[in-house]
């Protein structure tokens, strides 16, 4: 039984059409199969979205009634059946030929509900129409890109007719009209698919940008490819439509895996040889090297394979180039120096302070050098450049943005940007907390009424540039922002109509007459199921940690992908009164948060929140 099917037990579904195999040490109950008679029973030991659970479709039985045909097909869509061959047996011959399950996936909050047949839809009683309903939470397109949506009503229909059986005058009920693609409940979707980051080069630059997609956990039913081959195929297909305007794919158009390749494995030296369908003279030299880097970084996200180097082969099976992990590291947006990142916060005296590990379970607070740690300007928020030598601070009144060294002593420099707000404006109506991208540019939003704008300060000390933001209308306000290390994406907390939501924008840059033209385009919701979001931090190439609240729920701290996808395991331990959170790009580093009840606290991997400083606000890691 599928993961969502267990939730449907008791809803009047009659046709039981699946056998469930859960063979593995992780499932205490061993293997289980669906009985063909008796009451429906929950399968214990198989959690929602458990990737160890495999569902096998069962063909329709002879003289199955229309209800059983529709129920059986809905179940069969959740299976790993090669080519969805068994699912197609529920369709008429024409429908089976035309159905393209690979073209899209509609993800519902729970498995689709099948209502009783609507006889009025077919007054001549030549067939029966079954309304299919649910709440859509996401769609996945043919490029495997997931797009979360606010929960909206899903309403489609499945129509069944009687069709003659091959080599017989008898007729059987079969589906002749159905919704496009696959329709899956979230639990079944997460059981069958996993998120993987593909990587492409930022436009005109030499560093990589993550582009999350979903691939099958196991063999893809349509292509018969294993997860490694699926991932390579998805990378070669090019970036998602949303990311495409901001990245380059430096390989020849039409580049694909060689025909017939469905499995890719490493050799005894952990080298993955990737056979392509193009001649060497079309992708040699630096182009080959960059594509190999994309593959190495992309495959590093797969648990099923460990790749130390990649060799690209041409159509004639000749090796064109080979690249190892150490060489691919030069294409990272921010170099990993192999050390834990240092967190910072604002202490009770409104000065910038760093947290440094003392003993095994102790933390020391150290005032940073320079005017941000010892100056005369009280601070309201801070941000640290990725290199860890510069920092920016917004004054406590929100009026001015200052930049200085945090490794050496220096005099207080003039503000690099000032709010356009009136003198009597409140801090919340002035400058937001700033953020640095991985290339050293500093970003901040001015929330001044009538003068709202997003600006970027090149290198943290250049002449500020107003960012083109066509979506920043009079009734829209940027509460907070965080720029990704690659400088191509920006996480924004946007308030509109009294509701604060998390949006991801695409950063585009073009050469202008006097200065670079920078714009933030095509905002996409990253937490549509949250009624409000109060804090966000990047926690990896395509992962965010957020503080938010679902409708009617309590405040949560959880991980989200930039495409809005999530899982039940992404919810973090609760924390009372939390008002800010910060994550390092290294998963091994602790989360840091500020709480009105507990001051500055940290969350080590696998542990609970631990108080470290009694009083403090605005925790940050570099970025």
Q: How far is CA 207 from CA 301, 329, 485, 530, 586, in A?
A: 17, 10, 10, 32, 18
CATH 2.120.10.30 location in the chain = 344-620
Per-residue model confidence (pLDDT) at position 411 = 87
Query: What is the CA 588 to chain-centroid distance, rounded?
Result: 19
In CATH, which superfamily holds the domain spanning 344-620?
TolB, C-terminal domain (2.120.10.30)
- Determine how many CB atoms are found less than 10 A away from the CB of residue 142: 12
β partners of residue 475: none
Per-residue model confidence (pLDDT) at position 36 = 37
Per-residue model confidence (pLDDT) at position 46 = 33
Task: Check: CB of residue 301 under 8 Å from CB of residue 561.
Answer: no
CA dihedral 70, 76, 82, 83 (to 10 degrees): 30
Question: What is the pairing mode between strands 309-313 and 271-275?
Answer: parallel
Q: Which residues does 553 contact at the CB level (< 8 Å), separation at least 6? A: 531
Distance, in Å, from the CA atom of 369 to the CA atom of 412, rounded to the nearest integer, reads: 12
Please name which of 52, 38, 68, 48 lies closest in space to residue 5, comparing C-alpha atoms: 48
Task: Check: CB of residue 592 under 8 Å from CB of residue 601.
Answer: yes
Backbone conformation region of residue 290, classed left if phi is above 0, alpha if psi is from -120 to 50, else beta: alpha
Please give the average pLDDT of every successive group of 10 residues along the chain, which has 623 residues.
45 39 35 34 33 76 94 94 94 95 95 85 73 96 92 93 81 95 95 95 94 94 95 96 93 91 93 94 91 94 90 94 92 76 94 79 85 91 93 97 93 93 95 95 96 96 94 94 96 94 96 87 93 94 93 88 83 88 90 92 90 93 94
Q: How far is CA 101 from CA 261, 264, 296, 385, in A?
A: 21, 24, 29, 46
Task: Check: CB of residue 34 under 8 Å from CB of residue 40.
Answer: no
Question: What is the pairing mode between strands 442-446 and 453-457?
Answer: antiparallel
In order, the DSSP letters of 142-153 are TT--EEEEEEEE
Distance, in Å, from the CA atom of 271 to the CA atom of 95, rounded to the nearest integer, reads: 43
Per-residue model confidence (pLDDT) at position 360 = 57
Task: Record the tokens describing residue 562, joined without a space.
Answer: 């930039």
For 391-402, what is each residue's pLDDT tens digit?
Answer: 999 999 999 999
What is the side-by-side order of every strand in the sheet holding 352-357? Answer: 363-367, 352-357, 344-346, 617-620
Per-residue model confidence (pLDDT) at position 12 = 37
Task: Check: CB of residue 495 under 8 Å from CB of residue 103.
Answer: no
Distance, in Å, from the CA atom of 117 to the CA atom of 120, rounded to the nearest integer, reads: 9
Task: Record the tokens describing residue 118, joined without a space.
Answer: 């609507």
Task: Check: CB of residue 347 under 8 Å from CB of residue 316.
Answer: no
- Determine how many CB atoms are found less than 10 A away from the CB of residue 567: 17
Task: Check: CB of residue 402 under 8 Å from CB of residue 380.
Answer: no
Please name which of 331, 256, 248 lies closest in space to residue 289, comparing C-alpha atoms: 331
């Amino acid at each position: 039984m599928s993961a969502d099917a267990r939730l449907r037990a008791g809803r009047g579904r009659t046709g039981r059409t699946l056998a469930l195999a859960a063979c593995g040490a992780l499932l205490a109950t061993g293997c289980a199969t669906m009985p063909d008679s008796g009451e429906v029973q929950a399968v214990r030991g198989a959690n929602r979205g458990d990737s160890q659970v495999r569902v096998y479709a069962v063909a329709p039985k002879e003289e199955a009634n229309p209800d059983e045909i529709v129920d059986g097909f809905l179940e069969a869509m959740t299976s790993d059946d090669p080519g969805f061959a068994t699912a197609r047996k529920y369709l008429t011959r024409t429908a089976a030929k035309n159905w393209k399950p690979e073209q899209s996936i509609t993800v519902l909050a729970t498995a689709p509900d099948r209502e009783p047949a609507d006889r009025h839809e077919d007054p001549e009683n030549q067939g029966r129409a079954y309304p299919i309903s649910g709440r859509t939470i996401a769609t996945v397109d043919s490029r495997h890109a997931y797009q979360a949506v606010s929960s909206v009503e899903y309403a489609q229909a499945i129509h069944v007719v009687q069709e003659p059986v091959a080599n017989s005058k008898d007729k059987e009920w079969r589906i002749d009209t159905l919704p496009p693609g696959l329709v899956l409940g979230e639990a079944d979707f997460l059981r069958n698919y996993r998120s993987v980051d593909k990587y492409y080069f930022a436009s005109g630059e030499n560093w990589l940008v993550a582009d999350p997609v979903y691939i099958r956990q196991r063999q893809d039913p349509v292509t018969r490819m294993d997860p490694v081959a699926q991932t390579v195929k998805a990378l070669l297909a090019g970036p998602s439509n949303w990311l495409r305007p901001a990245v380059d794919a430096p390989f020849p158009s039409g580049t694909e895996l060689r025909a017939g390749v469905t499995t890719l494995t490493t050799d005894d030296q952990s080298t993955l040889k990737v056979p392509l369908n193009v001649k060497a003279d079309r992708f040699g030299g630096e182009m080959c090297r960059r594509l190999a880097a994309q593959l190495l970084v992309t495959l590093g996200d797969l648990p099923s394979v460990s790749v130390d180097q990649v060799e690209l082969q041409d159509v004639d099976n000749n090796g064109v180039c080979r690249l190892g992990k150490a060489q691919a590291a030069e294409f990272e947006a921010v170099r990993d120096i192999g050390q834990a990142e240092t967190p910072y916060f604002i202490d009770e005296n409104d000065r910038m302070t760093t947290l440094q590990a003392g003993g095994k379970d102790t933390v020391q607070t150290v005032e940073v050098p320079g005017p941000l740690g010892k100056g005369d300007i009280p601070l309201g928020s801070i941000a640290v450049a990725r290199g860890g030598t510069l920092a920016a601070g917004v004054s406590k009144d929100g009026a001015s943005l200052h930049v200085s060294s945090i490794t050496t002593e220096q005099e207080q420099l003039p503000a690099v940007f000032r709010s356009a707000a009136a003198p009597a404006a409140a801090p919340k109506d002035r400058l937001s907390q700033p953020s640095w991208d991985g290339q050293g540019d500093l970003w901040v939003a001015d929330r001044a009424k009538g003068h709202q704008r997003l600006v970027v300060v090149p290198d943290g000390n250049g002449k500020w540039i107003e960012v083109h933001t066509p979506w920043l209308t009079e009734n829209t306000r940027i509460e907070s922002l965080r720029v990704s290390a690659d400088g191509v994406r920006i996480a924004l907390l946007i308030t509109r109509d009294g509701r604060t939501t998390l949006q991801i924008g695409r950063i585009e840059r073009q050469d202008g007459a006097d200065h670079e033209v920078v714009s933030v385009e095509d905002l996409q919701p990253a937490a549509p199921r949250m009624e409000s979001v109060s804090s966000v931090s990047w926690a990896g190439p395509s992962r965010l940690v957020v503080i938010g609240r679902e409708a009617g729920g309590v405040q949560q701290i959880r991980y989200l992908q930039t495409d809005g996808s999530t899982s039940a395991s992404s919810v973090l331990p609760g924390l009372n009164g939390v008002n800010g959170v910060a994550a390092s790009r290294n998963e091994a580093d602790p989360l840091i948060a500020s709480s009105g009840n507990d001051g500055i606290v940290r969350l080590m991997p696998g542990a609970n929140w631990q108080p470290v400083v009694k009083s403090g606000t605005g925790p940050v890691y570099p970025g």
